[in-house]
Amino acid sequence: MLRFEDVRFHKSVSIHNTEVFFEEHAEIVFVWRSNVGKSTLMNALFWKKDLVKTSAKPGKTRLANQFLVDKKYFFTDLPGYGFAKMWKNLKADLDALISWYIEERKRYIRSVVILIDSRLGAQESDIDMYKYLSELWIPLTIVLSKTDKISKNDVFKAKNHSEKLFFWQQIYAVSATKKEWMKELAGVCKKLLQ
């Protein structure tokens, strides 16, 4: 079965939490540029309506939010990067939280999912995040979101462009709203956690 049976909020983690190092759960981490539909995607992946909080205001996530999946895995929602309208000191704090969390949990992370809005394609901040994670030798999964907002032809073009940009890495194009390709993405996540 490709659905996750038991998903619950575990805890929120700030850069000051030290106990995060001691929890030995295999983990998938979600990173994203603000306003790409990450909360909607994670809820669709979990088949839950509002477990991951959504907001009309970009940049709402300011902690690392861990979800315990099937009582043995973490799926972690990190704050968004690259939101231009954020105060500089807050943006620096969130960037520090992202890098601190990933580097401290590196040995447990099975993949970092970089979520990209299919309408806009990869932005400079997405490419910077890809390069940073590649230097850490962390496995990456690239997902194009909001494919229901563009034509099938444009989805094909966005996918093809992303494959070239990310060195022919496999790209998953999904619609969380219409649940298109979400079971396949769940299957990819389950395989990564084995």
* Mean pLDDT computed over every residue of the chain: 87
Supply the pLDDT for residue 37: 81
Burial level of 48, CB count in 10 A (0-12/13-18/19+)?
Answer: middle
Question: Is residue 26 one of the residues assigned to a domain?
Answer: yes
Question: Is residue 27 one of the residues assigned to a domain?
Answer: yes
Does the pLDDT value for residue 85 go beyond 60? Answer: no
- Give the range of the structural domain holding residue 39, as residue numbers without chain letter: 7-193
Phi, psi (degrees; rounded to nearest 5) at 57: -95, 115
CATH number of the domain residue 104 falls in: 3.40.50.300
Supply the pLDDT for residue 14: 85
* Whole-angstrom distance, CA of residue 61 vs CA of residue 55: 9
Does the pLDDT value for residue 82 go beyond 80? Answer: no
pLDDT digits (tens, 9 = 90+) for 5-46: 899 999 998 887 777 667 899 999 999 887 778 888 999 999
Burial level of 31, CB count in 10 A (0-12/13-18/19+)?
Answer: buried
The helix (run of H) or strand (run of E) holding residue 125 is helix 124-135
Name residue 116's amino acid. Answer: I
* Whole-angstrom distance, CA of residue 171 vs CA of residue 109: 19
pLDDT-based confidence at residue 70 (cuts at 50, 70, 90): very high
Supply the pLDDT for residue 84: 47
Question: Is residue 80 one of the residues assigned to a domain?
Answer: yes
Does the pLDDT value for residue 144 go beyond 90? Answer: yes
Supply the pLDDT for residue 28: 97
∠ CA 82-29-83, rounded to 5°: 10
Strands 140-145 and 171-173: parallel
Question: Is residue 2 one of the residues assigned to a domain?
Answer: no
Question: Is residue 50 one of the residues assigned to a domain?
Answer: yes
Question: Is residue 116 one of the residues assigned to a domain?
Answer: yes
For residues 60 and 178, which has the higher predicted lDDT (pLDDT)?
Answer: 178
* Total domains, the chain: 1
Percent of the chain at pLDDT > 90 equals 59
**CB 122, CB 162: distance < 8 Å:** yes
Percent of the chain at pLDDT > 70 equals 88
Does the pLDDT value for residue 54 go beyond 90? Answer: no
For residues 2 and 56, which has the higher predicted lDDT (pLDDT)?
Answer: 2
Supply the pLDDT for residue 83: 53
Question: Is residue 31 one of the residues assigned to a domain?
Answer: yes
Question: Is residue 1 one of the residues assigned to a domain?
Answer: no
Tell me the mean pLDDT in the region 47-54. Answer: 84
